[in-house]
């Protein structure tokens, strides 16, 4: 968590450099998309009671935000390249690289254990239901033989 905070601080410093190199003053602005992702994350996590499922939901919400940031940096880089602002492109690419690394780290966490823990009880129930649909019998009891 502290590492991500430090990365974010470094990204803000790079963005300050971008504005400086472009001769512009940075201005804060509302972002309805991010606000919506944060609201959605809050709603989802507020609905989840099982801690194992909550961990998976938090990771999913964090990744939605990372993906948004990745797409925005991609757009900004494309514009800066079009304007031949190579000194800006390097700074934006550094931020993009960190965002992609954060996304990969979150995916690794989710795929290595969090998702499995979140679905363990649910998967068993789902497997039983799927078996019943496929065979017309319960997975707990063997099917009767016809005589």
Highest mean pLDDT among 37-46, 70-79, 124-133: 70-79
Q: Per the confidence metrics, is the pTM higher than 0.95?
A: no
| pLDDT above 70 for 64 | yes
Q: What is the dihedral of CA 70, 72, 73, 75, to 10 degrees?
A: 120
For tokens 């963005």, the residue is 15
Q: Which residue has the higher pLDDT, 31 or 117?
A: 31
- Domain spans, the chain: 2-135
11-55 pLDDT, tens per residue? 999 999 999 999 999 998 999 999 999 999 999 888 888 888 888
The CATH homologous superfamily to which domain 2-135 belongs is Ferritin, core subunit, four-helix bundle (1.20.1260.10)
Cα separation, 143 vs 122, in Å, equals 23
């Amino acid at each position: 968590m502290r590492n991500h905070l430090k990365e974010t601080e470094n990204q803000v410093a790079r963005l300050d450099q971008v504005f400086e190199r472009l001769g512009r003053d940075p201005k804060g602005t509302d972002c309805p998309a991010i606000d919506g992702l944060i609201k959605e994350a809050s709603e989802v996590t507020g609905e989840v009671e099982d801690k194992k499922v909550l961990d998976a939901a938090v990771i999913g919400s964090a990744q939605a935000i990372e993906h948004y940031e990745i797409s925005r940096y991609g757009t900004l880089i494309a514009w800066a390249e079009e304007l031949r602002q190579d000194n800006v492109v390097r700074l934006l690419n550094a931020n993009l690289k960190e965002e992609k690394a954060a996304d990969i780290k979150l995916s690794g966490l989710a795929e290595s254990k969090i998702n499995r823990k979140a679905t363990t009880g649910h998967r068993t129930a789902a497997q039983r239901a799927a078996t019943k649909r496929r065979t017309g019998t319960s997975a707990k009891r063997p099917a009767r033989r016809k005589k």
